[in-house]
Structure formats: structure tokens, C-alpha cells
């Protein structure tokens, strides 16, 4: 038991292999993969920057690469309005290092259904859909993705390629767009979801997740079919 706890709490120092922008405020960071470091698509770890003043500042980030890749990938939304961890990530370059910890996360694929994401809440679904595409099992899954504007949509081209018209973008602040101007609430779900007897996966800001989870239950979805991060 002591060995198991020690392994779970082990810290891994990994070098950054590549860092590049995905959108105006989202970075793709590729790092070395520690030996025997395994995860399920949808899971995450706590990450710290290996730099003075930041080594104990852990933040949860989701793996967006796949288990069989030779490196790890994170897709991270950054915030420049305060000098925090994600803002500091923008100053990093290949050769700098991060500190990774144990793998965790409740979001994993259990069967076809509807994925609902708000902003950076898309990240667990990136690996899930990449994995499904690799296995040829995308099926009839649908993804509702809510953002403020078009420029905030993460990996738009990739999701369009994977899902086609089953990738539905909802914009809350931009009206001059081909995408739906709306919010994902009970009325939206009533209009766009005809079958409540399927899996639902929700990730985004906590208030959004809680509200949509309750809306789905109110509309007849079973709690056992709703997956959220806990």
C-alpha cells in the first residue's frame, strides 16, 4: 500500500518538446512522456511549471494526445489578465520543463451519445474523439460546443473533419456568424435532443455543468447516463 501511494504521488519532470498557439488564447504543449505513464482518453493530471515560484502551483490539465503517442500533449487555455500559471506558460519554450503528477479524471467514453462542452471544457473530449476516430468508432456521437465567438472555437477544423454536421457550434456573444447564436439551456436541449435515453457527457465551467445536468434530468435523462467531472 505504501508503494502504491508513493507511486501515485510521484512527480515527473518532463521537458517541453514543442509549444504553439491553437487560438488567440490557447496553447498546444507537447512534452516528454515518462516511462509507464498511462491514461485513459478524457483523463487529466496536475501540472506545475518547473520554475522558481511556480513549482508548487499545480493546475489540472487534460491529456489531449493519445495513449499510444510517444509524447504527451496538453491543450491549455491561457489567461493574461493576471500573472498566474497559464499566463506564465506563454513565456515557456522548448527545453523548459514541467512537473507532472498522478493521473485522474471521471470523464471517459461509455457509449454513443451527446457531448456538451463550454470553452476549455472541450479538452477531455479532444482525446476521446481522436481515439474514436483512430478506432473507426465515431458513430453517431454529436458534440455541442459553446463559445463566446468564432475565434474562441478550439480545433474547429479537426472536429469538423471527425464529426461533420454532428459538430454543432453555439456562440453566446457573436451574432454575425453562420453558427447558432444561443445558449445551451433547457429550451435549447428540448429543441435539439429528441432522445434522452443516451449517454451525455458535460464539461465546462462548474455553473454551466450543474445547470445542464439538471436540465437533462428535468427533460427525462437518467442520472446514470450523465457523465461529468467530479
Domains and CATH numbers, the chain: 2-104 (2.40.30.10), 113-228 (3.40.50.80)
| Site of grid cell 491553437 | 22
C-alpha span between 153 and 207 (Å, rounded):
20
Examine the pLDDT at 17 and tell me if it is beyond 50: yes
- The answer for residues whose C-beta is within 8 angstroms of residue 78's C-beta and 6 or more apart is 25, 26, 27, 86, 87, 89, 90
User: Contact, 29 vs 89, CB < 8 A?
Assistant: yes
Confidence band of 6 (pLDDT split at 50, 70, 90): very low
At residue 230 the predicted structure's pLDDT band, cuts being 50, 70 and 90, is confident
Residue-level pLDDT at 203 = 97
Q: What integer is the mean pLDDT of 192-217?
A: 97
| pLDDT tens profile 100-120 | 999 999 899 999 999 999 999
Grade residue 95 by pLDDT with cuts at 50, 70 and 90: very high
Q: What's 94's DSSP letter?
A: B
Give the residues across from 15 on adjacent strands: 97
Of 225, 224, 203, residue with least CA distance to 42: 203
Sheet with 44-49, strands from edge to edge, namely 59-62, 44-49, 97-104, 12-23, 26-32, 71-77
Select from 104, 91, 7 the least CA-distant residue to 49.
91
Can you give the pTM of this predicted structure?
A: 0.93
Decide: residue 67, CB within 10 A, 0-12 exposed, 13-18 middle, 19+ buried.
Answer: middle
Amino acid at each position: 500500500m505504501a508503494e502504491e501511494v508513493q507511486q501515485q504521488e510521484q512527480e515527473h519532470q518532463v521537458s517541453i518538446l514543442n509549444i504553439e498557439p491553437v487560438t488567440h488564447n490557447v496553447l498546444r504543449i507537447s512534452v516528454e512522456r515518462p516511462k509507464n505513464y498511462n491514461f485513459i482518453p478524457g483523463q487529466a493530471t496536475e501540472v506545475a511549471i518547473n520554475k522558481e515560484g511556480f513549482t508548487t502551483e499545480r493546475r489540472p490539465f487534460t491529456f489531449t494526445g493519445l495513449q499510444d503517442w510517444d509524447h504527451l500533449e496538453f491543450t491549455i487555455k491561457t489567461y493574461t489578465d493576471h500573472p498566474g500559471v497559464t499566463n506564465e506558460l506563454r513565456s515557456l519554450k522548448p527545453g523548459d520543463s514541467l512537473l507532472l503528477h498522478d493521473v485522474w479524471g471521471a470523464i471517459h467514453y461509455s457509449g454513443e451519445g451527446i457531448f456538451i462542452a463550454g470553452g476549455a471544457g472541450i479538452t477531455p473530449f479532444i482525446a476521446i474523439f481522436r481515439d474514436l476516430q483512430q478506432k473507426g468508432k465515431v458513430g453517431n456521437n454529436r458534440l455541442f460546443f459553446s463559445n463566446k465567438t468564432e475565434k474562441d472555437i478550439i480545433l474547429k477544423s479537426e472536429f469538423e473533419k471527425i464529426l461533420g454536421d454532428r459538430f454543432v457550434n453555439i456562440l453566446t456573444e457573436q451574432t454575425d456568424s453562420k453558427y447558432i447564436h444561443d445558449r445551451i439551456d433547457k429550451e435549447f436541449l428540448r429543441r435539439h435532443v429528441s432522445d434522452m435515453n443516451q449517454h451525455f457527457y458535460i464539461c465546462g465551467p462548474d455553473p454551466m455543468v450543474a445547470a445542464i445536468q439538471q436540465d437533462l434530468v428535468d427533460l427525462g435523462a437518467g442520472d446514470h447516463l450523465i457523465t461529468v467531472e467530479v
